[in-house]
Amino acid sequence: MKQLFFLGLILSSLISKGQSDFVDEILEYYASTYSDESDLSLFANDLYDLAKHPMNLNDTNRMDLLQLRFLSTEEIENILLHIQKNGPLINHLELQVCQIPKFKIEWMQQLTVCKPRFELSGTQSKTSHVLVFTYQNRHPTSAGFKEKPSKYSGNSSRMIFRYRGSLGKHIKWNYTGEKDAGEAFKPKRAGFDLHSANVVYTGFGRCKKLIIGDYRMGFGQGLNIGSGLMNGKSSLTTNVYGMATGIKAYRSLDENLFMRGLATEWHFKNVNLDVWFNRKKVDANLAQDSLSNATYFTSRQTSGLHRTKNEIADKNSMQINEVGIHGKWTISGLTIGAMAYRNQTEFAKIERDKFGRVTVLPKSYQQLGIYVKKNVRNGILFSEVGSSFNQEIAMIFGGLWKLSKEFSIATVYRVLPSKFNSLHTSSFTESSRGNNEKGLYLGLQYKLKRGWSLSAYCDTYLFPDLSFNSSGPVNGNDYLLELRKRISRHDTYYIRLKNESKTIYGNTVENEDSRNWLETSSIRNHLSLQLSRRLKTNSRLEFNWQKIGNTLTFASMFYQDFGLDIPEKKLKIKLRFVVCSVPDYGNRFYTYENDVSYAYSVPALSASQTRTYALFQYRFSRQLDMWLKLALDYKSDGKDFGSGLDSVSSPYRSDIKVQIRWHI
């Protein structure tokens, strides 16, 4: 009832501006280059932020441009070089000289402006506010809600409230509150489960940026500190240069990816200096030693969910303090950076390996990192080295070269020892752990004639030491080959072949020493067509095979999208129908879905099922937008959705999502 009242309160007072369709287009394009469950929420938030406050291309640097993740590293370098050689841009059309495709220039027209560098626009003192409220629920509810008494502390709805404000270009503030399904909403106490807020000052002088509150950051190749938005393997095969965006305000919903405290960036001629202080409480599983009575933590809880008694007990159970400094010197194509930070946790970590041996890790550690980037003729060479003073040195070396107008190659070699401290690592790696890995990546892009282009990569890697799910070294190889045809400005076809293979070990005590070879191959056909000014379609047919030893499983998936734009009714409708046959979880498909604003969705289709969704966007006025998403899943094999407390014992499952956005 209180939630309904809250929704009503928001509804009754909303006024606002229009939604930006191109954000969906960009996210769709970007998601199509990744084939797994990549986290796009940070990128989505950056795009909405840029749509509201466009970036001035004449007053920008590489770090700012890296926010436009649809641009390749070569394209970014071309823009910077063009501005350096020819002076400030007058119009976006000049970007054609930088060999940027027209569809990307159209997106840039929405996200950037070309103004003189220090022009004071007439909107300097204008204050703006954006309020966004999202409500989400699922029917039937999962097993955890049905048990008496309920295993969860709250109801099955998920609610998100966002407020963003700005005073001119220089001061912005943000608040995000979120309650996940199963978490309690306590209006009289904390209200939402997650609260995230910050105030950002972007200055003119030496102090370029000051953030108080929640922030994220990434430097160099993200080996020592990564923002969670670093490059990985994708069909943008030469995008291997790290997306280090410096210090940025945090506006997303992940409860672990951010730091809390104060961060500031200073600029002195060719030198950039960043200083940060992070003091944050995190979720951890605590354990007490019966002999010494000392408290340790065994693992960090990173799901961000606080629904059950155990999850609530872990909430904010440990404090982290961190202080760090980063400096960067740039001169004529050469960038040298260094960073150092000290991290201290409230409790020491206790680790138990596969053989039961216990190691107590220290409460605090220092990390030192150095990175270099050099622009060479038609290319970039880069490297980053990091050490946490435990004699384990991690390294990344790489380069990308545009050998001719049509042909580009990229390579990355990485060595990350198993004891390398990877708390903030978010670099070019196969595993998300950020350590215990070495490998070599090679990628190429070839622009053929008549709109055809060829992308390919191969990556061979090794996890030399044991890890929590393997009782021996893991060796793996990934290959990708994509042939893309840009039929016209809005029409595209591509076929993508992918092969992944790696060593796997048994996951039970009895067969943990059994070693096998897992091989997964897939073929994806995708066609995007703009049938008319109002109607757009996407069709995808994908197959995959998984082979473990002598067992072969085959899966297939087809989806059809329709996007309808009816401007006179101020209505946009997006529909999708998916049908798939998936015999095993390993054969699952990830498909990007259109969603409400500030959100993304890449559900895993892991059974023989159909999925249908409809997304409606209605614009009440220039200030007020509303989204409604309805989705229905049906499992033809009769199995439950999910497992354990999350399981839904019905062949049907429906989701509803409502969002209202009000610009003041």
Partner 1 sequence: MGLAYCLIFSAEIQVFAQHEPSVIGSISNSLAQINTSQKGAWSAYNQTTEMVTDTAWQFGCYFGNPYLLSNYRTYGISMIHAQKNMAFGACLIQSGYSVYNQLSSVFAVALKLSTKLNLGTAIHVTQTRIKGLETKHHPNIVLDAKLYVTAKNTCYIRLFNPIINTKEYGYLANYIATLQHKITNKTNLYLQADIASENSGSVKTGISHFVNDKFQLRMGVGTKPHVISFGFGMRLNQTCFHFASFYHASLGFTPSCSAEFVKP
| 409 scored as a contact of partner 1 (CB under 8 A) | yes
One residue of 479, 554, 562, 634 binding partner 1 per CB under 8 A: 479
Of the pair 347, 413, the CB lying nearest partner 1 is at 413
The structure tokens listed for 660 are 């209202």
Our finding on whether 497 is near partner 1 (CB under 8 A) is no
570 vs 622: CA distance, rounded Å = 10
- Scanning 126-134, 346-354, 434-442, 521-529 for contacts with partner 1 by CB under 8 A, the matching segment is 434-442
Instruction: Assess 3 for contact with partner 1 (CB under 8 A).
Output: no
The verdict on 517 binding partner 1 (CB under 8 A) reads no
Contact (CB, 8 A) for 60 and 50: no
- Beta-sheet pairing, 55-56 with 112-113: parallel
Residue 660 near residue 624 (C-beta atoms within 8 A): yes
Nearer to partner 1, 60 or 546 (CB): 546
Cα angle value 419/423/425 (rounded, 5°):
90
Query: Could you tell me which stretch among 145-153, 273-281, 435-443, 632-640 binds partner 1 (CB under 8 A)?
Result: 435-443
The residue among 3 and 460 lying less far from partner 1, judged by its C-beta, is: 460
- DSSP string spanning 549-602? TTEEEEEEEEEEEEEEEEGGGTEEEEEEEEEEE-SSGGG-EE--B--STT--B-
- Provide, rounded to whole angstroms, the least separation between the CB of residue 407 and partner 1: 6
Min separation Cβ 411 and partner 1, Å: 7
Total number of residues that touch partner 1 (CB under 8 A): 23
Residue 407 binds partner 1, judged by CB under 8 A: yes
Confirm or reject binding of residue 313 to partner 1 (CB under 8 A). Answer: no
Per-residue contact string for residues 344-383; x = within reach of partner 1 by CB under 8 A: ----------------------------------------
CB 400 within 8 A of CB 238: yes
Q: Is residue 411 within the footprint of partner 1 (CB under 8 A)?
A: yes
CA angle 233, 474, 218 (to 5 degrees): 40
Q: Which position has the token pair 């009782």?
A: 471
Paired with 365 in beta bridges are: 343
What sign results for the dihedral spanned by CA atoms 275, 277, 283, 286?
positive
521 is a site residue for partner 1 (CB under 8 A): no
Instruction: Indicate the residue among 109 and 501 with the shorter CB distance to partner 1.
Output: 501
**Which is nearer to partner 1, 300 or 433 (by Cβ)?**
433
- The yes or no reply on residue 440 touching partner 1 (CB under 8 A) is yes
Q: Is residue 476 a contact residue for partner 1 (CB under 8 A)? A: yes
Please identify which residue in 329, 365, 446, 577 interacts with partner 1, judged by CB under 8 A: 446
Return d(Cα 74, Cα 400) in angstroms, integer: 9
For partner 1, give the closer residue by CB, 479 or 590. Answer: 479
Backbone conformation region of residue 573, classed left if phi is above 0, alpha if psi is from -120 to 50, else beta: beta
Could you identify the residue written with the tokens 């672990």? 256
- Nearer to partner 1 by C-beta: 77 or 183? 77
| Residue in the block written with tokens 């890449």 | 602
Helix (H, G, I), strand (E, B) or coil at 570: coil
**Binder to partner 1 among 213, 304, 386, 439 (CB under 8 A)?**
439
| Shortest distance, position 444 Cβ to partner 1, whole Å | 7
Query: Which of 302, 404, 511, 643 is in the footprint of partner 1 by CB under 8 A?
Result: 404
552 near partner 1, judged by CB under 8 A: no
User: Which C-beta is closer to partner 1: that of 275 or that of 444?
Assistant: 444
- The region of 89-97, 351-359, 432-440, 506-514 touching partner 1 under the rule CB under 8 A is 432-440
Query: Is 630 a binder of partner 1 (CB under 8 A)?
Result: no
Q: Is residue 631 helix, strand or coil?
A: strand
* Distance from C-alpha of 173 to C-alpha of 165, rounded to nearest angstrom: 5
> Are 210 and 246 a contacting pair, CB within 8 Å?
no
- How far is the C-alpha of 588 from the C-alpha of 558, rounded, in Å? 13
Q: Does 403 bind partner 1 (CB under 8 A)?
A: yes
Only segment of 145-153, 282-290, 354-362, 409-417 that touches partner 1 (CB under 8 A): 409-417
| 157 vs 178: CA distance, rounded Å | 11
Q: How far apart are CA 503 and CA 525, in angstroms?
A: 28
Contact call for residues 611 and 635 (beta carbons, < 8 A)? no
Task: Tell me which stretch binds partner 1 (CB under 8 A): 235-243, 314-322, 436-444, 597-605.
Answer: 436-444
Question: Distance between CA 384 and CA 564 in Å, rounded?
Answer: 47
- Phi and psi at 624, nearest 5°, equal -120, 125
Site residues (vs partner 1, CB under 8 A): 403-404, 406-407, 409, 411, 413, 438-440, 442, 444, 446, 458, 460-462, 473, 475-477, 479, 501
